[in-house]
Structure 1
Amino acid sequence: MGSLKTFIKEVRSAKTLAEEKSIITKESAKIRTKLKDDHLSLEKRRKNIQKLLYLYILGEKTHFAQVECINLISSDDFQNKRLGYLAAVLLLDEQQEILTLLTNLLNNDLNHPNSYIVSMALSALGSLTSPELARDLYPDVEQIINRSTEPLLVKKALQCAARLVTRDAALLEIFYPYCKKVLDNHRLCTHGVLLGVLKLCQSIIEARNLYEFDNYLEILASLIDSMPEFFSLLQNLNSAVFNQEFDVNGTSDPFLQVELLRTLRMLFACAPEKTMQYVDKFGDLLTQLASIGDGSKNSAHAVAYECVRTIFELQLDQSLRVLGVNILGNFLSGKDSNTKYVALNTLSRVVPQEPRAVKKHRKFITKCLLDTDASIKVRSVELIFAILDETNVQELTNELISFLEISTEDDKDVVNYVVEHIMVVLESERYGEERWRLDMAIKVLELVGEYASYEKVNEVMIMINNARSIELKASLVLKILSTTIDAPADSKVSVENSGWKLVAIWCLGEYADLILGSSGLTEVKLTAWLANMNRMCYDEPRVTSFILSAALKLSCKIQSKSQIEDLRLLIAGHSKDTNLLLQTKSTQYGILFNQPTKSKKAILDAMPFFAKNVVEETASSAETRQPVKSPQAAKETNLLLDLFDTDPVPAAIPGGLGGQKPPLNSNGQKAAPHVPTDHEHVLQAADKIYDCNNLSVYGKVVFCAHQKAVIELNIQSKQKKIINLHTMAAVAKLQQLSMGTLSSGVIDPSGIAKQQLELTGSGKLKLRVKLSYTVDGAEVSEQFDHRFAESL
């Protein structure tokens, strides 16, 4: 049998995946056979375990050799024992029953005279400990802390004790006195030992909810008594003269500083009243820590970031919060991608506490849109929408438009997120003048209309339809049709831009009479373009449906008989369409086409103003909640209403406002008032597909045709705030899934987060969804399956 080096070379030299799999399978079979040989020498057994570890790295199955790893640990040879412990830590976990075989071996090695063997045993126990192992072996760990004079072993024992406490909270009563005892032993208390003490303190604090006895306040008080010692250590680490042995790029032992800050933060959060006397001193120390260090080095960034986390988690003074935001702003000006990501992620969380301070750094935030890292672009966009308000909406919108102009196919998820949220902003009257909002909405569609959902395209049509000025409508329609029909060579409108095509076709049908004769847009040119679109988009039913409606409406707005006949033939051409809906519409439109002109014009008159009943958004909540139309409002605002529906009167407004007179709009007409609706109205259009103690999930199929479907999930929390929300989904083998960006990872009580899924393929629409989140400090995971009525 060859060596490990030879095996690695063979795997790497494989030219195909099948060849590589063959080599691995054969070698795995050889290892299995050899390890069954009771007479195999230890040296050869060791070589086989080494190959087994390489198989583990490759992701292959290694369960058949777990007992062999434990047999190596029982060897007296240090080399074999070291490999056995390494293999055990990698191949086993605390859930495996085979761990019971380790109890005696660990007990022997924890009492071994060789300190290196004791160190390995402590590391293995810390990694693999289960509640049973913790209860059986804690006396050995305690004995090492008590009697050992070697800092290495004391450090390892303290860290192991921290792990034992997390597995069995009752053990914190055994180990908590050693925090103070080791701190007082200055001869033994090296930086490594201090790290062990701090880890043990953190485990004791984290286990407070699992501790069942009444003396926890006494235990906590003993830790609080050590706080002056922690302050002193932090100050000494940041003094002008420090031990060069611990220097990391100009920062004295950043690992110890970070753990000290984390432990102090946990103590302040756990016992705010008992630690009140130290708040001022801690604030001064944080200010000092944040203002020193080389801002271009990761070691200094680590300490500064921990200071920022401490400031905001403890909600300290405003001056400190502003300082924290400025530190994060400095992170954004650097070149390191990891530092930028951390800064953007943290700024998104602190916007509610210090919105003004965060907005001052919008220059650096928008600059991150140009970063090559996709994750930084996503975080940058999320932060932009979190800080967007009336004062900076134009500046930030222009930056987002600039980003859309240079976006590529690789930025698909980011563009989807931008389009979805920027349309919400532009729909609201509070964000600038009507002309500017319409210009921006049209610009977005021109650039990336293919990424806009049908609902957002529909909203743009409503905005154009509700424009107060006829001159404004005419100029917008002229701009859209001129850009489309007389497209220059450098036009930014792509062939796949379905959103732009829908708006252009709709504008042609609704407002052709406003622009006929302008910029050379004649009846012949408009009719020819519509006929050309009919030929180009024959396999797009939605676009074709718009073309049929536009052709019918255009026939009432032109005078040329030959062009009217062309439009009639266009409609009649779909009377035998394979799509039943288009065939029906063509037949109905054909009948309507032959009606007297006066009757036809009355039916095909311009759309009335539409009123929307939506929840008004604030700048801070725009990221997490989207205004969604109630079913009745959606019916009112759907521009694909049947042309025979001539009743323009909006539906009655629910609630206690029925007796109030609606206000007048700028034209002196009655306008339906904006009525705030709660989340129940938001979710009326969707079906509840899952329900549990903490949340409910509502789902609806937004679009389903031509082997493509778009599903929208609305996740609503119940009585408790949900944080760190993550969604995962799986579909059938014949389908492919593309997940959009979750609208927010944090949901307030009764709040909503939205997740959009895009499926392609064939078969029934079936989803398996997994939700992971944190509520009341506990991590929760939910999984469910749902089958929709629609099929691809």
Structure 2
Amino acid sequence: MGDPLVTLPELIRAVRGARTQAVEQELVQRECARIRGAIRTGDPQAGTTNLTKLLYIHLLGYPAHFGQMECLKLLASPQFHQKRIGYLGAALLLDERQDAHLLLTNSIKNDLAHPSPCVQGLALACLGCLGSAGMCRDLAGEVQRLAGDAPAPVRRKAVPRVVEMLHNLEVSGYSLEHSIMGVSNPFLQVRALRLLRILGQGSEEASEAMNDTLAQVATNTETLHNVGSAVLYETVLTITAVHSAPGLRVLAVNILGRFLLSRDRNIRSVALMSLLRLVRVEQSALQRHRATVLACLRDPDPTIHRRALDLSLALMTGANVRTMTQELLGFLETCPLAMKPPCASGLLFAAERFAPNKRWHIDTMLQVLTMAGSSVPDDAVSRLIQLIVGAGELHPYIVRRLYGALACDISQQPLVQVATWCIGEYGDLLLADSCEEAEPVQVEEGQVLALLERVLQSHLSLPPTRALALTALMKLSTRLSGDIDRIRRIVSVFGSCHDIELQQRAVEYNALFRKYDHLRASVLEKMPLVKAEEEEGAEVVAPGGQKRAPSSTAQEEPSQVADLLDLLGGPPADPLVPAGSDTPVAESLLDLLEDVTTAPPIPPLTVWEGDGLRLDFAFQRPPADPHLLLITASASRTRPGTTSGFLLQAAVPKSLQVQLEAPSGTSVPGPDGAPLSQQLRVRNPGQAPLRMRLRLAYTPPAGVPVQETLEINDFPAAAWQ
């Protein structure tokens, strides 16, 4: 024990010079005792020498487990040569069965974040040698970050080698040991494709180097079995994630289109989800598979026809809105009850966005209300009424069609509410026989009153429906010249109704008959045309069916009346300014300058946070264009890992216009990387309160694609006022 420690070369010569096994064992035991003593004394200078001798003793077959903690000590050293020996010792002396293996995870994690690529390489090599399931799960985010942030020289060296390996797998023949269902080593192909997807993101040079090989894999791989489908799916994900050629991206869409014809529902579901992520960038290529997507609506699997519905709605454009609407109306009529709300909402939104003319728009909304019933959105009735008011030339046609629909069925409450409102407003057109487009039907006053009375007495009618029917009867008392006493009797019956709203209306209407009959005609006049400034989310429809943006004269007044109108869902009308106002011009100009100089900045807004991903909005109002709002959307990671396939979609009410510019990328790196940014240009001519609906699609580090739908109503007031 008192003898000085020997070096590694001296130990090797001594062992080789041993003539018998007993002499060698005695020599090794004596050296192990010296190393134990040195470890107990904690000599930092001899740590590397002792561990190298222990590794040599371990290679000879003698126990060297007492050096495990010495390996962990060297891993924490800031010097590279000591770290190298420590990782070598850990790779040889540790395994999953050792308790010290649990202490290795933190050391590897620290070295993966080291600025030196050499130290990172040591940690990665050790992780590949000793990584257990738990260790790989804990360090997966760090490894993926390193792969995504690899320097350009590393990418240039890695991509050709991976491409060459993938090419060799494609051209190699059948191998009994590695081929599965005719596909050569599919597990290795999937790993290689995933690595190419990481290396090719953000690098046009690396993407161009892999184009030919990706095309070869996509063309030669068969889809008769799940093995080939899995390889093709990874190929499609790689093609769409990197800067691939346009023809290659069309090939990827066609592969997903072939997946839709598969008998395996899992493959069809994955294809629909992947196509939905590509609908924004590959709209023209996806239109070729529109018929196949619509056929998926008839699949009995609820997951498939739900995803097929989302994709069908996303494929609607102004060119195919008529045919797509007919197909989706057929689906709406026969779909399960749980599917009616999203289908009805999507159809109403598409009709509002792509309607070729007002009549088609109104007919489509009426069909949706007839088929969906109470599954339509809450604002569908008010939007349809607003549209009808602006279509003056179609009033005879609309009121006759609604009268016929109401006479056939009074169970669909949204349709009944629209019909009763229209009959009350334009009931005189039912008797005028002024509609040349509809079939001539003789309607008498008694039939109209009996139909409204039937709605009032039906147990299916909701309180809002009865209120609309009661008001319609009152309006018909000024539009029809028949039995006014019958209307008075019907109204008086509800003066003792249990519903407070109906009772109040009936009492007021009775007072109008008795005390203010001379004012009844003027009080119950027809509703005026609803301007865009008076209804949020509306457009002014000009003669000839052309839509124009609402005027920019609407201003909000900070008063109690403005607050009340805001609660009702729309901004107030413009405040009246006296014509003879004597405000000095100079004072007005000073007021304007004061507003410009004291305008506070718009505070940012955190829109959403989840799965380690955070989305923030930053706002800017260009001084030259007060109706334009620039929104910079920033997506960043709050936890280690990389989010791929990020896609942001936005929609605003019709009184606003939104334009999304191209994002800075499709991947969101970890906390140390730069966030992904995308600019939204929102034009708000009427200065209506800003509302926005967002749809996020992304793939977290876990690899399972996620979709989120958000509705934002809490924008800062300075963003739209």
How far apart are 1:284 and its partner, in Å? 0.5
| Alpha carbons 1:254, 1:303 under 8 Å: kept | yes
1:169 to 112, 118, 139: 112
Once the two structures are superposed, what CA deviation does each residue of 1:167-224 show, in whole Å capped at 9, x if it has no partner?
86347854626989999xxxx9xxx99x9xx99998665234999xxxx74xx74464
| Alpha carbons 1:312, 1:321 under 8 Å: kept | yes
1:424 counterpart letter in structure 2: F
1:243 to 142, 160, 175: 175
How far apart are 1:511 and its partner, in Å? 1.8
Q: Partner residue of 1:574?
A: 494
2:430 aligned with 1:515: yes
1:318 to 239, 246, 271: 246
Q: Partner residue of 1:436?
A: 360
How far apart are 1:540 and its partner, in Å? 2.1
- 1:587-666 pair list within 5 angstroms: 587-594=507-514, 599-612=519-532, 651-652=573-574
2:323 aligned with 1:401: no
How far apart are 1:305 and its partner, in Å? 1.6
2:164 counterpart letter in structure 1: S
2:275 aligned with 1:347: yes
SS of the aligned residue for 2:634 comes to coil
Once the two structures are superposed, what CA deviation does each residue of 1:545-591 show, in whole Å capped at 9, x if it has no partner?
11111110122233332xx3232222222223333333222222222
Once the two structures are superposed, what CA deviation does each residue of 1:679-736 show, in whole Å capped at 9, x if it has no partner?
xxxxxxxxx9999984589xxxxxxxxxxxxxxxxxx98641485899xxxxxxxxxx
* Structure of higher RCO (CA pairs closer than 8 Å, 6+ residues apart): 2
CA distance in 2 between counterparts of 1:634 and 1:508 reads 34
CA distance in 2 between counterparts of 1:281 and 1:250 reads 27
How far apart are 1:383 and its partner, in Å? 1.9
CA distance in 2 between counterparts of 1:749 and 1:319 reads 28
CA distance in 2 between counterparts of 1:578 and 1:755 reads 43
Q: Partner residue of 2:26?
A: none
Residues 566, 450 of structure 1: alpha-carbon distance in 2 compared, 3 angstrom cutoff: same
CA distance in 2 between counterparts of 1:250 and 1:631 reads 70
2:419 to 494, 499, 504: 504
Residues 209, 600 of structure 1: alpha-carbon distance in 2 compared, 3 angstrom cutoff: farther
SS of the aligned residue for 1:519 comes to coil
Q: Which stretch has the larger CA shift, 548-557 or 223-232?
A: 223-232
How far apart are 1:262 and its partner, in Å? 1.0
- 1:169-318 pair list within 5 angstroms: 169-170=112-113, 173-174=118-119, 176=121, 206-208=144-146, 217=151, 221-222=153-154, 224-239=156-171, 241-269=173-201, 272=203, 276=205, 278-318=206-246
1:514 counterpart letter in structure 2: L
| Alpha carbons 2:167, 2:213 under 8 Å: kept | yes
How far apart are 1:543 and its partner, in Å? 0.9
SS of the aligned residue for 1:528 comes to helix
SS of the aligned residue for 1:720 comes to strand
| Alpha carbons 1:537, 1:544 under 8 Å: kept | no
CA distance in 1 between counterparts of 2:331 and 2:390 reads 29
1:480 counterpart letter in structure 2: L
CA distance in 1 between counterparts of 2:634 and 2:522 reads 54
CA distance in 2 between counterparts of 1:509 and 1:209 reads 68
How far apart are 1:265 and its partner, in Å? 1.7
| Alpha carbons 1:480, 1:504 under 8 Å: kept | yes
Q: Partner residue of 1:621?
A: none
- 1:452-467 pair list within 5 angstroms: 452-467=376-391
Q: Partner residue of 1:369?
A: 297
After TM superposition, the score normalised by the length of structure 2 is 0.59
| Alpha carbons 1:612, 1:633 under 8 Å: kept | no
| Alpha carbons 2:373, 2:413 under 8 Å: kept | yes
Over the matched positions of the two proteins, sequence identity in percent amounts to 24
CA distance in 2 between counterparts of 1:280 and 1:755 reads 33
How far apart are 1:631 and its partner, in Å? 14
CA distance in 2 between counterparts of 1:163 and 1:243 reads 41
| Alpha carbons 2:416, 2:465 under 8 Å: kept | yes
Residues 170, 180 of structure 1: alpha-carbon distance in 2 compared, 3 angstrom cutoff: closer
Residues 405, 719 of structure 1: alpha-carbon distance in 2 compared, 3 angstrom cutoff: closer
1:425 counterpart letter in structure 2: A
SS of the aligned residue for 2:494 comes to coil
CA distance in 1 between counterparts of 2:242 and 2:106 reads 26
| Alpha carbons 2:296, 2:308 under 8 Å: kept | yes
Residues 690, 297 of structure 1: alpha-carbon distance in 2 compared, 3 angstrom cutoff: closer
Task: Give the alignment's Cα RMSD to 1 decimal.
Answer: 5.5
After TM superposition, the score normalised by the length of structure 1 is 0.54
Q: Partner residue of 2:544?
A: none
| Alpha carbons 2:648, 2:694 under 8 Å: kept | no
Q: Which stretch has the larger CA shift, 339-348 or 255-264?
A: 339-348
| Alpha carbons 2:497, 2:503 under 8 Å: kept | yes
| Alpha carbons 1:165, 1:203 under 8 Å: kept | no
1:554 to 472, 476, 488: 476
Residues 559, 226 of structure 1: alpha-carbon distance in 2 compared, 3 angstrom cutoff: closer
Q: Partner residue of 1:45?
A: none
CA distance in 2 between counterparts of 1:343 and 1:426 reads 27
Residues 180, 319 of structure 1: alpha-carbon distance in 2 compared, 3 angstrom cutoff: farther
CA distance in 2 between counterparts of 1:482 and 1:383 reads 35
2:350 aligned with 1:425: yes
CA distance in 1 between counterparts of 2:520 and 2:214 reads 76
Residues 142, 592 of structure 1: alpha-carbon distance in 2 compared, 3 angstrom cutoff: farther
CA distance in 1 between counterparts of 2:529 and 2:104 reads 70
Residues 112, 583 of structure 1: alpha-carbon distance in 2 compared, 3 angstrom cutoff: farther
Residues 168, 458 of structure 1: alpha-carbon distance in 2 compared, 3 angstrom cutoff: farther
2:371 to 447, 451, 469: 447
Residues 343, 775 of structure 1: alpha-carbon distance in 2 compared, 3 angstrom cutoff: closer
CA distance in 2 between counterparts of 1:336 and 1:204 reads 36
CA distance in 1 between counterparts of 2:700 and 2:632 reads 11
CA distance in 2 between counterparts of 1:433 and 1:383 reads 24
1:720 to 634, 656, 664: 634
Once the two structures are superposed, what CA deviation does each residue of 1:365-410 show, in whole Å capped at 9, x if it has no partner?
111211222222222222222221111111111111011111122x
2:370 counterpart letter in structure 1: E
Report the structure number with the largest CA radius of gyration. 2
How far apart are 1:608 and its partner, in Å? 2.3
Q: Partner residue of 1:416?
A: 341
Residues 546, 630 of structure 1: alpha-carbon distance in 2 compared, 3 angstrom cutoff: farther
Residues 206, 582 of structure 1: alpha-carbon distance in 2 compared, 3 angstrom cutoff: same
Residues 199, 589 of structure 1: alpha-carbon distance in 2 compared, 3 angstrom cutoff: closer
Count of paired positions:
509
Q: Partner residue of 2:660?
A: none
SS of the aligned residue for 1:295 comes to coil
Q: Partner residue of 1:392?
A: 320
Residues 565, 238 of structure 1: alpha-carbon distance in 2 compared, 3 angstrom cutoff: same
Residues 297, 417 of structure 1: alpha-carbon distance in 2 compared, 3 angstrom cutoff: same
Q: Partner residue of 2:287?
A: 359
Once the two structures are superposed, what CA deviation does each residue of 1:516-567 show, in whole Å capped at 9, x if it has no partner?
3753432222212211211114872211211111110122233332xx3232
- Which sections of structure 1, spanning at least 5 residues, go unmatched? 1-110, 119-130, 132-136, 488-492, 618-626, 636-641, 643-648, 655-687, 698-715, 727-745, 757-770, 787-792
